[in-house]
Each structure stands twice: as structure tokens, then as C-alpha cells.
Amino acid sequence: MENGSATWLRSFVPRPDAERRIVCLAHGGGGATGFRPWAQALPGTEVIAVQYPGREDRVADAFPPDLAAMAALIADELAPLLDRPYALFGHSMGATVAHEVAHALRDRGRPEPLRLFASGREAPHDEEGGKVHLMDDDGLAEELRRLGGTDAEVLRVPELRAMILAYVREDYRLIETYRAPYRPPLTCPVSVFLGAADPDLDPARASRWAESTTGPTDLRVFPGDHFYLVPHRAETLDAVAAALG
């Protein structure tokens, strides 16, 4: 869990005496530092953020061939940290990756998470793929503007635009080529979060995460769009803390 570029996990505020850990996985185009403000906000919980390749301190690192391979690599690095209970929180693409990580850990004989938080994403069995990763740079940049998660000013700087679009394209490739394999569902509780004005997800579709587990599920709709958890961070963290109990 060092800050070396070869590793997947970041702990901005180590809490060796914490009762539990929560492992946070960002949206496509996002990085681990997006969860830095969470580091001291959850009582009794150490926050671990996953750093995808191609960005921040992993700018030179290669991408895995597919999403399942990425989840397996994350699970391998996460396994030694399961000396205490853990939860998984994934937003957008990160929700799908978190679901795959839970399965990868279970396949290794490790415990399932205390709870899986699936934010801003349809259930894995509803993934329909897409062709955004095949668009030219202008089309890819327009998709980022549509979702609202990237500063438009940053995309006007040629060097930054090229770097950002390179790893965003790879993220979209991973999620758009992913198809969930058939396997027994998880047994852990699943909390589903979404923004009321998310352009790509509504409560009816989000509620289909219930089919991903035999455990209980609950649905929470927050004010805001796809990236509701940025302006409504405090409300999101309160909901996470309450669910962790």
C-alpha cells in the first residue's frame, strides 16, 4: 500500500487501529485522490482508494487487458489487508469494478465485503457496452462534458487534454467491453446510490442491483447529477457511515 506507481492502493491517512476498512474505486477518468477528503470522515474506518493506471502517480503504468483482469490485480493486492472487515464503494465504472473485486476475493476463499456500495451505475448484468472508446478525441471530450465530471477548462489545454483523453479512453474500453459472466450472486448487503438528475440512470434501473446478491439491498437517491457525491459529499458520507453502522 505504498505510494509507488506499481501499486494499486492508496491510504492517505493510515489508521492501523480502525475497526474496518472501506475500499473506494473511482469513476472512469477518476483517480484515487478524489477520495482524499473521505480519509478522516468515516468513524472507525480506514479509507483505502484504488489508483487506476495511466493517471496521477501511475501515469506511465500500462492498463490490464480487460476489467476482470484489473479486478483480479486489485484483489491480489487487497487480500493481505483483509485482517479486519472491509466494505467496497465504487462510483460509476468503479461500482462494476468493485463488484468484480468482491467476486475475485470470494473466488480466492476470502470473505465478502461487509457491504458493497454501488454508486451511479447500472447493475453488472445490465451492462450493454458502448462505443465511446472508439470515438475521436472531440467525441470523447464531448462525452466528458455531457456527464460533467471533467473541468472544461482543463480540456482546452492541449497537453492536459491529450493525457486525460488517453486514460479516459482506456477506462471506457474496459467498461464498454465488459460483460458479466454467469455465477452465483454475492451474499453481502448492497447499497445503491444515485443522483436524482443522473442522465443515464434512474431508480428503477438502479434497483436491479438487487439481483446481484441474495443479501438485502437498499436504494438512496441524492440531489444532483451523475457526480452528486462531489457537491453532496457530506450527505454521501453520512449515508455510508450509517450503512456501516
Catalytic residue list: 92
* 116-119-125 Cα angle (round to 5): 75
What string of DSSP letters covers 137-200?
HHHHHHHHHHHT-S-TTGGGSHHHHHHHHHHHHHHHHHHHT--PPP-PPB-S-EEEEEETT-TT
Residues 6+ apart with CB under 8 A from 34: 26, 49
Residues 6+ apart with CB under 8 A from 73: 8, 64
